[in-house]
Amino acid sequence: MSKLDLDYFENILIYKSLTDSGYLASIADFVKPEYFKDKAIASIFDIIKDFTEKRNKLPTTTEIKSYLVSDEQKESFKGLVKSFNEIDKTLDKEELYDNTERFLKEKAVYHTMLNVAEDVSSGEVDTSVVLDKFEKSCNINLVTDLGLELYSDVDKLIDDLNSVERYVPSKWEWLDNCLGGGFLEAGKALYVFAGETNIGKSIFLGNIASNVAEQGKNVLLVTLEMSELLYARRICSNVTKIPMKEMANNTPSIKQAMNDQGGKIFIKEFPPATITANQLKAFVKKFEEQGIKLDAIVLDYLNLMHSPVGNNSYERIKHVTEQVRAMSYLFNCPIISATQLNRAGFDTDNPDLATISESIGLAATADAIISIFQNEEDRGIGIIRLGMMKNRYGPRGITQAMRIDYSTLTIDQADDIEIDEGMDDTLNMLAGLAT
């Protein structure tokens, strides 16, 4: 691909916008007035854009002239039209879009730098906001692929039907069956465990991390609430089946057992409410740079992440959830997390939407939401239940009893416990919300 001189590229951009409505539509939302060398040229682009939006057709040069008011505009347009004769009309579509994308990214990054410099000089710098601005500047993508044309590309469909989707099993039969085999190995999916405070969300996430690693897979566990060493103690007790209070007296056994594990668990602690999705993305990229393929990312937990976007908890959680799910696409691995769905809904037989209003955006974004709850009779016998509230891959509305060994924080499926197959009011409400 040839790289064009971006100092003169705006002339090509204007010309193609005047002659190709598809091109104009693809760039219209990305082009800012400050990207042009002078205000007159910027105003001409706005005229082209506004005219096309209102009339659903491209303007002629004569029609554009009728909108020009100042002498500066008229002279700039005359110079632009003259420059059109010098433009290479043989430029192919790929070269055009690649160079346009390069032009827009360079302009966006440059002006972001200017804005950040102004913030620095005024002493108003929020690093998370700065990172978000640069992320947006670098994420300009002019999509030219029209997607899958079903009837012409039916062979792609057949190949997909004949392929076997691979999963990362949780090693809990009920959950794996509900999800069609486990967590999708190819990623593009966000799985969320939801429950009230102190219900055991972190225990479940720690068990999933150790269960995945036991299968020879690599797991990153990001903790925003618990220290790295405390999480390590929990997982170590879970893996070795040595009670936490007895671990100090069994260090040789622990060392041997942990060395026998096939996969790796990386535990990384960040202070709560400090890390954004973009910062987490940058951290995960370090594994790629070191040649480490992550098979799953466990995040404890969504509500403790920071968002530079949003004026309330609903908007912040929605933004975080969308960004985290996008990470599963980027790194091609499933992300398993948890959320504080409601503070009061699990304490009543008839919760209303107000009790979970903060998480409506999460419910719409996540691919599967699994509730964690207890009945009164469960509390004294070490039983905790999972409920499939939302599930894009299988059934929902069913529950399963799980047994916790609190000495080692090990969770196993409790098939000897009578299972309530019906949804209680809480599950009904949340399942309806998450469709």
pLDDT at 222: 92
Helix, strand, or coil here: 89? Answer: coil
User: How is residue 192 written in tokens?
Assistant: 């969320």
Same domain for 271 and 319, yes or no, is: yes
The CATH number covering residue 357 comes to: 3.40.50.300
Q: Is residue 353 part of a domain?
A: yes
Q: Decide: 264 and 218 in contact? Cβ < 8 Å.
A: yes
pLDDT at 335: 94
Q: Is residue 396 part of a domain?
A: yes
Choosing from 138, 156, 190, the residue where a domain stops is: 138
- Cα separation, 363 vs 6, whole angstroms: 44
Same domain for 315 and 360, yes or no, is: yes
The number of domains in the chain is: 2
Would you give per-residue pLDDT tens digits along the chain (435 residues)? 566 666 678 888 888 888 888 888 888 888 888 888 878 888 888 899 889 888 888 988 889 888 888 888 888 888 888 888 887 777 778 888 888 888 888 888 888 888 777 777 776 666 666 666 666 666 666 665 555 566 667 777 677 666 556 888 898 999 999 998 899 887 678 999 988 888 888 999 999 998 998 888 999 999 988 888 888 888 888 888 888 888 888 888 888 777 766 788 899 988 887 788 888 888 888 888 888 899 999 998 888 888 877 677 777 888 888 888 888 888 889 999 998 866 554 554 333 334 444 567 777 788 898 888 887 777 778 888 888 888 888 888 788 889 888 888 889 888 765 544 444 444 444 444 444
Same domain for 103 and 171, yes or no, is: no
Same domain for 77 and 118, yes or no, is: yes
pLDDT in tens, 207-220: 999 899 888 899 99
Q: Is residue 155 part of a domain?
A: no
Peptide bond into 191 cis (omega under 30): no
pLDDT at 191: 92
pLDDT at 351: 32
Q: Is residue 154 part of a domain?
A: no
Helix, strand, or coil here: 125? Answer: coil
Same domain for 71 and 219, yes or no, is: no
Same domain for 74 and 194, yes or no, is: no
Same domain for 279 and 381, yes or no, is: yes
The closest of 300, 390, 392 to 338, measured between CA atoms, is 300
Domain residues for the domain of 278 are 167-433
Q: Is residue 158 part of a domain?
A: no
In sequence order, the 6+-apart residues with CB closer than 8 A to the CB of 161 are none
Choosing from 89, 118, 138, the residue where a domain stops is: 138
pLDDT at 151: 66
The closest of 419, 223, 180, 171 to 338, measured between CA atoms, is 223
pLDDT at 431: 43
Same domain for 279 and 419, yes or no, is: yes
Same domain for 390 and 265, yes or no, is: yes
Same domain for 37 and 89, yes or no, is: yes
- Cα separation, 12 vs 80, whole angstroms: 9
The CATH number covering residue 28 comes to: 1.10.860.10
The closest of 365, 434, 326, 389 to 175, measured between CA atoms, is 389
- Cα separation, 180 vs 168, whole angstroms: 11
Q: Is residue 338 part of a domain?
A: yes
Q: Is residue 145 part of a domain?
A: no
Q: Is residue 85 part of a domain?
A: yes
Choosing from 120, 138, 156, the residue where a domain stops is: 138
User: How is residue 307 written in tokens?
Assistant: 């968002």
Same domain for 253 and 320, yes or no, is: yes
Q: What is the DSSP string of 264-331?
A: -EEEEE--TTT--HHHHHHHHHHHHHTTPPPSEEEEE-GGGS--SS-SSHHHHHHHHHHHHHHHHHHH
User: How is residue 55 written in tokens?
Assistant: 């009339």
Q: CA-CA distances (angstroms) from residue 361 to 287, 322, 435?
A: 30, 9, 12
Same domain for 64 and 174, yes or no, is: no
